[in-house]
Structure 1
Amino acid sequence: MIEALRKHRGDGRCYERRPDITAILLDLEGLSQERLVYRAQIRLKTDPQYLPSECLLHLIRKSKRDNSNQLFETLFRILMARVESAATLRSEIYRLPTGKMAITTFGIKVRDHVVDRFLARLIADRNGYDERLDYFEINFAHAIASLRSTAKAKAASEEKRYQPLAANDDEEVSAEVEKAAGAFDPFDTTKIDDGNYRFRLFAAIKKLPEKERHVVALLFKEYPIESNDPDKPSICKILGCVEKTVRNRRDRAFEKLKAALSEEQIDA
């Protein structure tokens, strides 16, 4: 029998799992540990044997009642790998000159916050019952997204606190902003053809301050920032600004666009 969730909604009703999750859990009843582990290790979501994260979490919580430490440890590693993947902002991953992939400091802060908060809930549940995990059994992806949103706000607040951005066009932007701008191309040809991405990008551009918006618009039209050819138009000539001012406006604009476009679909 599948144990009911205990957390109550605002109207007094108990949380209930989705019908599709309940159906899978019923199919898992009576399976051996070996078979459960086999299914938990399947990574392809289109595989009919794939176990959603809601089901993995339920099995982990249930293993406590069954005194199955070995099953807990195996499923725990699989689920935490999914949590870490879902907590990692794809926009914060970049490629090093060596070819290896790395993640920005901001991305690490967000990922670690999500993992730590989820792990704290799991430990509390292991020692008793943590109702905060009940919603994860209903909609795991949305629950992780909520933790991630909080983590992003916290990390952004810390960056603003310790690395204030320059407001003067002629003042150097922070190293973090310059690095982020250099690693981010809002007009990436692999993305710009996607209608949804393009819609979100243009909506974000409209929200930029006027000076930054003008620079981005000219970059989109492929005008160079500066040109040695007196007959060739450049952004500096069109806007009547020195190169440093244009690059500062670009970097600030790209940082804002990156933040606006940073939400990725969660792979849970």
Structure 2
Amino acid sequence: MIEPLRKYRKDGRRYERRAETTAALCLLDSLSLEQLVQRAKVRAKTDPLYLSSECLLHRIRKCKQHNSDRLFESLFRILMARVESAATLRSEIYRLPNGKIAITAFGTKVRDYVVDRFLARLIADRDGYDERLDYFEVNFSHAIASLRATAKKRAADEENRSQRLSTNDDEEVSAAVEKAAGAFDPFEVSKIDDGNYRFRLFAAIKKLPEKERHVVALLFKEYPIESNDPSKPSICKIVGCVEKTVRNRRDRAFEKLKTALSEEEIDA
């Protein structure tokens, strides 16, 4: 018999799993540990052997009743991979010039919030019973979507606060530094083609503070600081900062690179 859920709705009705979920759970009881894990590994939802996330979560919660750590660990990894995938906003994914896939700072905040909150519920349930997981056994996709919506709002609010306090995050550079940095282009074609200059430039970039180094690296890859095209990633979107902050970091970095390269030229 499948243990009923414990959480109640506001109108007094107990949460109930979908009929198809209950039917699938009854069939899973006859499977061996190995067979259950193999079913959980099926990724295509159109495959008749695909195990729904509602069923997968139920079996994970049930592991504690049988002290099956081995089964828990196997199913846990599979479920968390699904949660991370569902928590990732496709609009915040972009492709780097080297072909690798990356995610913006905003997208990372949203994904991490959802994963952390779900994991906290799972840990609490492992130690006892967390009713907050009950709705995930009813409608897993909607439950994750609800966490994701909350995460997006929190990340957006945090981004807005960051915009209002951007000068606190990175003090505005002086007019002299901005002017000097603006007249200096470390990636000038006539220079960058020279192997010796390129070697010294990259060595100087490595010595920059992490935030400045990140901006310079993105500029080198020809990402725009800001973009009105939502399909085109910008440096502001990637690092999660307003335009003014990015320009400040660029100006500071360029001034340091200019000084470092000039010193090396004198020493040579």
Scaled to the shorter chain, the TM-score interval is 0.5 to 0.7
Alpha-carbon shift at residue 184 of structure 1 (Å): 2.2
- 1:184 match: 230
- 1:40 match: 40
Q: Structure 1 residues 180 and 92, CA, compared in 2 at 3 Å: closer, same or farther?
A: farther
Query: What is the TM-score of this pair, normalised by structure 1?
Result: 0.63
More helix by share: 2
- Is residue 155 of structure 1 aligned with residue 201 of structure 2? no
Amino acid of the residue matched to residue 65 of structure 1? Q
Q: Structure 1 residues 22 and 181, CA, compared in 2 at 3 Å: closer, same or farther?
A: farther
Alpha-carbon shift at residue 181 of structure 1 (Å): 3.2
Alpha-carbon shift at residue 185 of structure 1 (Å): 3.3
CA distance in structure 2 between the partners assigned to 1:38 and 1:180 by the alignment: 46
Amino acid of the residue matched to residue 230 of structure 2? F
Query: What is the TM-score of this pair, normalised by structure 2?
Result: 0.63
Amino acid of the residue matched to residue 227 of structure 2? A
- Is residue 84 of structure 1 aligned with residue 84 of structure 2? yes
Q: Answer whether contact 1:135 1:143 (CA < 8 A) is retained.
A: yes
Q: Structure 1 residues 29 and 180, CA, compared in 2 at 3 Å: closer, same or farther?
A: farther
CA distance in structure 1 between the partners assigned to 2:226 and 2:24 by the alignment: 43
Structure 2 gap segments, 5+ residues each: 167-214, 216-223, 233-242, 244-268
Larger Rg: 2
- 1:115 match: 115
Amino acid of the residue matched to residue 11 of structure 2? D
Q: Structure 1 residues 81 and 180, CA, compared in 2 at 3 Å: closer, same or farther?
A: farther
Q: Secondary structure at the match of 1:134?
A: helix
CA distance in structure 2 between the partners assigned to 1:81 and 1:112 by the alignment: 12
Identity in percent: 69
- 2:144 match: 144
Superposed CA offset, 1:171-220 (max 9, x none): xxxx9xx757366239xxxxxxxxxxxxxxxxxxxxxxxxxxxxxxxxxx
- 2:265 match: none
Q: Structure 1 residues 110 and 91, CA, compared in 2 at 3 Å: closer, same or farther?
A: same
Q: Secondary structure at the match of 2:227?
A: helix
The alignment's C-alpha RMSD in Å is: 2.0
Alpha-carbon shift at residue 11 of structure 1 (Å): 1.6
- 1:67 match: 67
Structure 1 gap segments, 5+ residues each: 167-174, 187-247, 249-268
Task: Give every structure 1 segment of 4 or more consecutive aligned residues whose post-TM-superposition deviation is greater than 6 Å.
Answer: none
Q: How many residues align?
A: 177
